[in-house]
Every structure is written in C-alpha cells, then in structure tokens.
Amino acid sequence: MVSRTRDDEGPPVELRGPLAWCNWRAARGGVPAHGTREFGLYTDAHLTDVVRDGLGPYKLLNTVPVNSEALRFSLVVRADDHLSDEMHDIPEEGWEKGDVTLDVGGFHDDEIAALLSIHYGIRLRSGGQIRDFGHYTQDPLGSPQQHGFRTPQLPYAAFDTTMLPGTAFSGGRRKSVKLSDPEFVQRLARYPNLSLNAAVAFQRSARNYQSALWNADADAELAWLRLVSAIETAANHWRKNAKPPKDALEEQHADLVKTIREVASEDVLEAIAPMLRDLAKSTWKFLEFFREFAPDPPSERPDPGVARVDWSKLRDALLEIYKWRSVNLHEGIPFPQPLCTPPQSVADPGKSAAERPLGLGSFSRGVVWPAHRLPMYLHIFAHACRSSLLKWWDSLPASG
C-alpha cells in the first residue's frame, strides 16, 4: 500500500508495507497525527501494567478485567494515526496485475497483537476498533465505534486439559505477563527499524504463530501446520539474505551450477542465480533455520527420562515433524493422533507436563506409531518455534 501525508502537511511521504510499520515510520519521520484510534484485544492470559511510552505512536492500556471467563477483554491498543485517508482510496491503476507481495493480513491492531503474542507466548487477538478520536468526530473525548468489530471466539476442544500447558488458560490458571517488560518494549521498538521485506516476513511468521496458539485446542493439526509455516516464512527470507544467490544455489544444486558453467558462462550463472536460488529444498531451509537460530530448551521441564525431548538430537525430532507436515499436505495423511491430544501427565503432578508421548509407541484407530515418529508434543514445538523466531528477530539488521 502507498500512503501520503495531506497536501497541507508538507511534502508527500511514500510508504509501502504493513500498516503499523508504515505508521510508526511516518511518526518517526515527523508526519503529524491527524487522529487516534483505540482497539480492543482479547486474551486468556493475565496481563499486568501498561505501556505509555517507548512504542512510538502506540500505547498499551490494561483494562484490568476481573471476570472468571477464559477469554477476557484485557487490553486496549491506542494508536495515533500518522497515515492519511488516501491510503484507503481505491487505486486507479493496477487492477489487472494486482500485488499481494506486502500483504500481512491485518490492520494496526492485528500487527501489534501478533508481536505481543509471539514475544510473550500467549493467545491474543484483536476484535477491531472500539473508539475514534478525530477521524469522524470532533469530540475531544472521542466517540465509541463498533463498525466492523467482532468479539473473538476462542475455540476449545472437548478436553479437560489443554494442548498448551503453561501457555493457555487451564484449570483456573492463567499465564501472567508484564506488558512493560523492558525486553519486550526494546524488541517491539525495533519493528519500524526493520527493512520492508524483513518487516513483512516477520509479521507473517508472527501471525502464523499467533494463529497456531489460538486454534491449538480446537484443531491441533492446523496448529502444527501453522507453526511449520511460521518457520518456513522466516527461513525463506533468511536464506535469501544469508548468502549471495550464486553461493546459495551452488550449495544446494552443485550439478545444476556445473552444467550452467559448462554450456554457458559465469556471467549467465550470475544473471539467473537470483531466479533459481529458491529451488533450495524446503526441508533443508527449515532445518537450517533451526540450526542457525538454535532454540533454547524450556525453562521448566519434567525429570530426565522418557518424558523429555533429547535437546541434543533436536534436529532429528524436527525432521520427523517436517515429514508429517509434508505427507499431510501432499498425501492427506493426518498428523499422528497422539500428537494432537493434550500431553500426558507425569508421575509427579507438581512437575511440568511430558514433552513427548511416553512408552515405545502408540496405537489408536488401528494405526501404530513407533516412538521415534512421535518426537514431541505441540507445546514443545511451539516453544522451539517461538525461541528461534525471537532470536531471528533480534538478529535482523536495522534499516533507514
């Protein structure tokens, strides 16, 4: 999308990309705000504190809910709008071609919600705008708004426990997070410093992670797929920028590079390498991303033994997950039923939940899954994905 300041506010400011990223950069560039919006966000976590400074045009305001419902209206995102109304105009040209290369599928609030979700590892989603200041009213106290607002519905499966112990609301327990955590404020404040392509890639990864957590208890198989997609999205961007196109192509397709050199020339190879580098195998990129941004093991774990994932053999476990993802998408073979049910409890109820199915294997619906094909439960894979994605986020260079 392209946004410009109004004619009476100075020279045009060309911006393309995710809305919150564009808005933040416009604010940083001195474009005046011409209105303010407030958005209502819902979570099953317990939020404390507020953030009024350090996030550019955004503030995080705690509603302090006290009701006992699992999903609560807990947060208001207040956004000063530095983007002009022209961004909503229908383009006069480009109908035939179209362009989805920069689409992240959300508005200001959806981007901030996704970044909050992945930083804290919580389920969080926006319902939309709830109040307007300056766009459609001159009331200094603002005007309530419900146009387009939809109260999020958190789907739960018919289980007494959750697929995401320690993350999702279960048994009256909520994960507690402090909104003003300095690490979070510093990390989120880097968002407008990212390059356009990096901001798009990270936002898409974060929204895949956010969706996985939100749907985990109702559709665990979808959650598995979303988490793999979160890593693949990041890996695709990372590999494109990690090595020169020719080197990346030669690393994965040495025979192809050799043939091009033999029948053509080095100049031809240099010219077509950027177009061919994406032929690198998706499995390899998936595993290499985890190798480069090695996830830390969970801080709370069950006693050593069969209930734990062997973190020294994490690559083998991740490869099994990617195999299940591939046969699910291409052959319709379901993810193993044992990996789509809540984790088994361990002997000591005070300890953390098991990280992988216990025993030598599992049997259900006439199907046998040996233990080595059941590498970890969903909550452990979600932890590994979040850990790696945050390390990747922190590694992304700043852009002008």
How many separate domains does the chain show? 2
Last residue of a domain, one of 157, 185, 218: 218
CA 337 from chain centre, in angstroms, equals 25
Same domain, 176 and 264: no
Same domain, 14 and 111: yes
Which structural domain range is residue 330 located in? 237-385
Distance separating alpha carbons of residues 41 and 59, to the nearest angstrom = 13
Residue 210 has pLDDT above 90, yes or no: yes
Same domain, 252 and 211: no
Residue 223 inside a domain? The answer is no
pLDDT given at position 48: 95
Q: Between vectors from CA 177 to CA 171 and to CA 178, what angle results, nearest 5°?
A: 150
Q: What is the pLDDT of residues 22-69, one digit of tens each?
A: 999 999 888 888 889 999 999 999 999 999 999 999 999 999 998 888
The residue with greater pLDDT, 247 or 200, is 200
DSSP state of 338: G
pLDDT band at 83 (very low <50, low <70, confident <90, very high): confident
Q: Helices then strands (H, E): number in the chain?
A: 11, 9
pLDDT band at 2 (very low <50, low <70, confident <90, very high): very low
Q: Which two tokens stand for residue 96?
A: 């035939």
Q: What is the pLDDT of residues 345-395, one digit of tens each?
A: 765 545 678 999 988 778 877 888 898 899 999 999 999 999 999 999 999
Same domain, 263 and 179: no
Averaged over 148-166, what is the pLDDT? 80
Question: At CB < 8 A and 24+ separation, what contacts does 362-370 make?
Answer: 362/336, 362/337, 362/338, 364/337, 364/338, 365/337, 367/337, 369/336, 369/337, 369/338
Closest CA to 39 of 145, 123, 117: 145
Same domain, 92 and 208: yes
pLDDT band at 87 (very low <50, low <70, confident <90, very high): low
pLDDT given at position 91: 59
What residues contact 298, with CB distance under 8 A and at least 6 apart? 352, 355, 380, 383
Same domain, 187 and 257: no
Averaged over 70-97, what is the pLDDT? 76
Same domain, 173 and 299: no
* Adjacent-strand bridge partners of 37: 79, 132
Averaged over 196-225, what is the pLDDT? 95
Closest CA to 119 of 68, 190, 49: 190
The residue with greater pLDDT, 14 or 17, is 17
Residue 175 inside a domain? The answer is yes
Averaged over 223-252, what is the pLDDT? 82
Residue 397 inside a domain? The answer is no
